[in-house]
Amino acid sequence: MYSGPLPAGREALGDGVFSVAMTILVIELALPVIKPGGGWHEFVAAMKESWHGFLCYMISFVVLGIMVWPPDDV
């Protein structure tokens, strides 16, 4: 089995798959709705209601990053 570095085409394909997956995850994020003229406190209160979506995005980003870019010494 070949254990050397990935050929450039496979590496580019992996980067493309990663970027498409991240784009789909970002599209799914919904910004909270704040009334016009709402202040910082209303923004923070709205973000507290939708924190789970941003947390899922961050976890997914880390997991996909680990899968796509393994360490060089493996």
Structural domain containing residue 57: 40-67
How is residue 73 written in tokens?
A: 């010494």
Q: Does a structural domain hold residue 53?
A: yes
pLDDT value at 58 more than 70: yes
Q: Does a structural domain hold residue 50?
A: yes
Mean pLDDT value of segment 23-52 = 82
Q: Does a structural domain hold residue 4?
A: no
Domain count, the chain: 1
Higher pLDDT, 31 or 39: 39
Three-class DSSP category at 31: coil
Give residue 5's pLDDT: 61
> Looking at the whole model, is its pTM more than 0.75?
no
The answer to whether 34 and 42 are in contact (CB under 8 A) is yes
Give residue 42's pLDDT: 87
Mean pLDDT value of segment 19-26 = 81
